[in-house]
Structure formats: C-alpha cells, structure tokens
Amino acid sequence: MITVYHTSEHRGTEYIIYAVGEDQWLGDGYYFWQDFEFAREWGAIKKYTSFDIYAIEVNLNFDTDEDVIDTVFNEIDYYKFVDKIEYFARLYFEKFNDRPTLQEFNNFIQDYDIWKGVKAMRFQDLPANNKKDFLKVTGFYYKKRIQIVLFDMSLLIKSTITHTL
Amino acid sequence: MANWEKLDKEFYNVVNNLTDEQWQLWRKQQNNNRIIRQKQKEMEMKMHLLKLSFFTFKGKKYFSKDSIENTSISNIKNIEVVNNVNRIAKLDEYALAA
C-alpha cells in the first residue's frame, strides 16, 4: 500500500481526474505525485485560483508487484522501457521517415493492447524551473519529481482531500 | 520489477509482425481509435467515480494561502472521516444484481 497525491483545480467535487489527452506522458490514466511537496508545487505551476490536493491510498507495491513498471528506482525496468521506446522509434522512422510523437507511441501501445496487464508505472518528470522553494541547494535538482500513473482504477482504495489552497 | 519476459513478448510480437500496410493503416486510424477508446474510458470512469464518491472519505483541512510555505505532510492530521463502507456494499449489491 502506498500513498500518492493528486492535484486538481478546485471544483467543489471530491473526485480525482482521469487524465486523457495528447500531453499525457504515459497515456490516459490517473496521474499522481509520489511526494506531497510536488503536488503542492503543481497547483502553483498551473496557477489555479484554488486547488485541491488529494491523498490517495493505492493498493500497489513497486518492490514486489510484477504488473508494474518502475522506471525511477528499478534499473532493469528503466533500461527495458527505454529500449522499447527507441525500438518503436526506429521502426517508425523506417516506415515513415519521421519521428513518432509521444501520443503516437501511446496510441500504438493501446491500439494493440500491448502491456494491457500493466497496472501502473512510476516515472520521473522534468525538473521544475519556476518554483524551487523545495530545493535546499540553489540550482541543484537533486530531488526526483516522481509521478505514478495508474491504469487500473480498482487500485484506488481511499481518497481524501487533505488541502484546499 | 516488471515481468519483462512477458512484456517483451507482447511488444515484439506486435511491432515485428506488422506489415507495411498494417503500419500505414494504423497510422491513419490511430486518431479514430483513440476517440473510441476515450469514450469507452469515460464510461468506465463515470462508473468508477460513482463508486469512488461513495468510497471517498470526507476529510478536509483548510489552509490559507499565507500558510502554504509552512505546511508539510506532518500537519495533515485530525481529518474527519466519514466512512461510507455500508453504502459501497449496497452499490456492489446493486451492481451484482444488475
């Protein structure tokens, strides 16, 4: 069991958002921050007038579960995942003489039901540039901005709004 | 760690066995596929959110914007919990009956 955090604009509801769209790094799913401080930071980055931070309990264990991909802390998962992306990109380039987009990679994986059994992925977002209060050493991005995407909604066990800011 | 024997097999079985025509077709159809998939997911989401709404533990702790910088995870406590487990069980019963 792990606790993760979700930030969304305050809407007066108590639902977390299922993210869809072309800018989702790992396709459609429920996206969370692993650390509270980045969930809080995300609300500031998005410049929401008011936002909610949810603490979500998820029935997930990245150390023992086999149906998860952990590209942040598991070296094998990371390099295997990188291999797949670049393999796809090579084939795509051979076929179309162009680079695939993020959305095309995600479309391909989902269109062909590849990795349908994968329940969740952990990955690292880019360093933030516009709010660095959580960094204790200026200019040193020593903290991973870790995100988790859940594809299996039944993993969500409990949802609590912890902050309305 | 993921089961890469399984994941590799799933991945390479598809990418290595598509014909050129299938690649072209996929590229043309991917946006339509995506729209259809999203509609399906939206339906699944509505059902899940309905369930989650019963599942949600109503805990709220409000902080002023001035206190953001002084707020840490250790401050989150004394959350009022309203447990709707019985209502969830009812919902499951309805779902099973349906």
By C-alpha distance, which of A128, A157, A144, A153 is closest to A44?
A: A128
* Cβ contact A115–B11 (<8 Å): yes
Render pLDDT for A102-155 as a digit per residue (tens, 0 to 9).
Answer: 889 989 998 999 998 999 999 998 876 555 567 778 777 788 889 999 887 778
Give the one of B26, B57, B71 whose C-beta lies nearest to A160's C-beta.
B57
Q: Are the beta carbons of B7 and A80 closer than 8 angstroms?
A: yes
User: Residue A23 has which token pair?
Assistant: 């800018």
User: Residue A98 has which token pair?
Assistant: 């162009």
User: Residue A35 has which token pair?
Assistant: 């650390």
User: Residue A96 has which token pair?
Assistant: 């179309």
Give the one of B14, B37, B69 whose C-beta lies nearest to A114's C-beta.
B14
* Cβ contact B62–A164 (<8 Å): yes
The CA distance from B14 to B26, in Å, is 12
**How far is the alpha carbon of A60 from chain B, nearest alpha carbon, in Å?**
12
The CA distance from A137 to B47, in Å, is 45
Render pLDDT for A33-48 as a digit per residue (tens, 0 to 9).
Answer: 999 888 888 877 777 7
The CA distance from B27 to A67, in Å, is 28
By C-alpha distance, which of A164, A95, A101 is closest to B65?
A: A164
| Whole-structure pTM value | 0.74
User: Residue B1 has which token pair?
Assistant: 């760690």
